[in-house]
Amino acid sequence: MSRLDKWLFHARFHRTRTLAQAAVTAGRVRLNGRRVDKPGHAIKPGDILTLGKGAEVLVVRVLALAERRGSATQAQRLYEIVE
């Protein structure tokens, strides 16, 4: 299990962990169809995340967790786009 904000940062959806926390707190992230407002919410492989970024909505499946932020290539291995 990993914190949602850390995973979003490690998967390179946000440039900083603070921005990832702000996105979660603002309600722009859904976990398995439910709105999440706590950045420390636990996630695991197999979870479905719906991410709102501006006018875009991105749905991804968590494939793996990471210990630290890696390269963009490594980050892409952490998820797959569902829609």
Domain of 18, CATH number, reads: 3.10.290.10
Model confidence pTM above 0.95: no
pLDDT at 15: 96
Residue type at 18? Answer: T
Domain range for 21 is 2-81
Cβ burial 42-74 (10 Å sphere, 16+ → b, else e): ebeeebbbbbeeeeeeeebebeebbeeeeeeee
pLDDT at 42: 97
User: How many CA within 13 A on the CB side of residue 78?
Assistant: 24
Q: H helices within 1-83, ranges in order? A: 4-10, 17-25, 72-76
pLDDT in tens, 18-77: 999 999 999 999 999 999 999 999 999 999 999 998 889 999 999 999 999 999 999 999
Query: Which is more confident, 19 or 1?
Result: 19
Q: How many domains does the chain have?
A: 1
